[in-house]
Amino acid sequence: MSLDVIKFAINRITDTNPKLGFPRKESELAELCGETITPDGISGEKAFALFRDVLIKASVPINHPRHLAFVPASPTRSAVMFDLVTSAANVHGAFWLEGAGCIFAENQAMKWLVSLTGMPKGAFGVFTSGGTEANLSAMVAARENWRAADESKRSVRGIVIAAISAHSSVRAMAKVIDVDVVSVQTEDRFEAAQLEAALAGLTPDERSRVFAVIASGGTTNAGIIDDLDGISRICRRENFWFHVDAAYGGGALAAISVRHLFKGIENADSVTIDPHKWLFSPYDCGAVLYRDPEQAKRAHAQEGSYLDIFSDEGAKGFNPSDYQIQLTRRMRGLPLWFSLAMHGTNRYTKAIERGIELAKIAGRLITGAPHLGLVREPSLSCVLFRRFGWKAEDYRNWTYRNHKSGFALVAPTKVRHGSEFETVARFCFINPDTTEEDIKAILETML
Ligand SMILES: *Cc1c(COP(=O)(O)O)cnc(C)c1O
């Protein structure tokens, strides 16, 4: 049985063209699987057979070359393989005392991430479960820092400023920490002048409650990079914490062709990057980077008599739990480390550039097709386009048609025109194995 499991894993790791799964209704799955949790167990053979024959077929392999919806992923084979090794190694990733060797390796990968941002010496970060947790951890650090600098803010409800194009997790995490969000009404590039206007529109009370500004280093919908430089200058002047959410776009910091668009990211107080998006790591692997990790530590380090030993002189070292909200954690940065160490960073640059190139190729094909038109020029690896004459339900049917037939998973999105929303099609390229033929074939399904 265990041999079957390992064989399946190896086949799946090396299969570059896996079958595109399609969700089934819960009732169907229940009928096909029956009750799997029983007092005596159903046996590994039976459970694995259900997984292989039913469950995995009702799940989407996110690295399918024609999966261009949402933000897809394409972990390297070496990273996925090392994910197995990471699990097998069973290392607790919260404290140096227990995880020193593995944390050292994670930190080597982190050092590279930090170097991509150009943040000053001393900047460092930690791997998180994803961009949501990274954004949350950064916002908590920002608010704690704001309150530590001025005791009178202790019971004051804070405000963060973000454009409406910011990722949904920004608003969701603002709820978690109970702060207000002032929204800058732009789905296009969030510019310094818009931040000035937003500030001018605040009452003196509101203004005194602002502690952070969040900008995107690649919006999730359109790949737009905000005016990081201009916004960072205002934050510096006003003493606001400047957070850059580059969960999706952060990988493109390694792409020479677009690196200049991120100018200003080096001034950030914190940055979110998801290696499980455009740095070819398996789920789940996000990262939060801080200009001054000590500020994060003051906000996040947990105290308890059972934890004292971890800060003892004899066990001292980098404790990942001090810099984000999670205590017990897996060594989720290890697969990235192994893959980076094996392939070298140049391979990463090449694979990321390919995603940007695929977006350009798609842009050309769309412009050349009479039934299609670009909504805006491709940005990073995102392409927004319309099928002339189609309504929202046509895009929806198109998505289901392609997914059900096992051909492709491509989903529509919406763009805003004033108070109106238009449904359009969207590609997001991550997988360097996606080909021009794949794109052509998908566009042909829109005839
Ligand atoms: C995907 C994304 C997030 C959320 O990250 P998760 O890893 O899904 O938690 C946050 N911000 C941006 C810009 C994203 O693209």
pLDDT digits (tens, 9 = 90+) for 300-352: 998 888 777 777 777 789 999 999 999 999 999 999 999 999 999 999 999 99
State the CATH number of the domain containing residue 281: 3.40.640.10
- pLDDT per residue as tens digits for the range 27-45: 999 999 999 999 999 999 9
Residues 306 and 358 in one domain: no
Confidence of residue 184 (pLDDT cuts 50, 70, 90): very high
Whether the per-residue pLDDT at 188 is higher than 90: the answer is yes
Residues 216 and 279 in one domain: yes
Q: Give the residue-averaged pLDDT of 254-272.
A: 98
Whether the per-residue pLDDT at 402 is higher than 90: the answer is yes
Residues 326 and 359 in one domain: no
Pick the last residue of a domain from 316, 343, 370.
343
Residue 401 lies in a domain: yes
Closest atom of ligand 1 to 218 CA is: 13
Residues 119 and 134 in one domain: yes
Q: State residue 3's pLDDT score.
A: 87
Nearest CA to ligand 1 atom 5: 131
Pick the last residue of a domain from 343, 375, 397.
343
What is the best residue among 248, 276, 332, 380 to mutate for testing ligand 1's pocket, by most ligand atoms within 8 Å of CB?
Answer: 248
Q: State residue 2's pLDDT score.
A: 83
Residue 327 lies in a domain: yes
Percent of the chain with pLDDT over 90: 94
Residues 172 and 305 in one domain: yes
Q: Is residue 245 within 6 Å of ligand 1 at its C-beta?
A: yes
Residue 176 lies in a domain: yes
What is the best residue among 71, 132, 216, 413 to mutate for testing ligand 1's pocket, by most ligand atoms within 8 Å of CB?
Answer: 132
Residues 324 and 355 in one domain: no
Q: Give the residue-averaged pLDDT of 382-411.
A: 97
Pick the last residue of a domain from 309, 327, 343.
343
Residues 335 and 376 in one domain: no
Closest atom of ligand 1 to 274 CA is: 7
Looking at the structure of the chain, the number of domains it has is 2
Q: Is residue 131 within 6 Å of ligand 1 at its C-beta?
A: yes
Residues 371 and 320 in one domain: no
Phi (first) and psi of residue 372, to 5 degrees = -125, 155
Residues 274 and 125 in one domain: yes
Q: Give the residue-averaged pLDDT of 145-171.
A: 97
Closest atom of ligand 1 to 286 CA is: 7
Q: State residue 418's pLDDT score.
A: 87
Q: State residue 376's pLDDT score.
A: 97
The mean pLDDT value of the chain amounts to 96
State the CATH number of the domain containing residue 374: 3.90.1150.170
Q: State residue 157's pLDDT score.
A: 97
Residue 126 lies in a domain: yes
Q: Give the residue-averaged pLDDT of 188-196.
A: 98
Residues 129 and 193 in one domain: yes
Q: Is residue 274 within 6 Å of ligand 1 at its C-beta?
A: yes
Supply the pTM of this predicted model. Answer: 0.97
Full domain range(s) for residue 421:
347-444
Whether the per-residue pLDDT at 296 is higher than 80: the answer is yes
Burial class (CB in 10 A: 0-12, 13-18, 19+), 219: buried
Residues 317 and 423 in one domain: no
Residue 369 lies in a domain: yes
Residue 9 lies in a domain: no
Residues 92 and 210 in one domain: yes
Phi (first) and psi of residue 244, to 5 degrees = -110, 120
Q: State residue 315's pLDDT score.
A: 73
Residue 42 lies in a domain: no
Residue 259 lies in a domain: yes
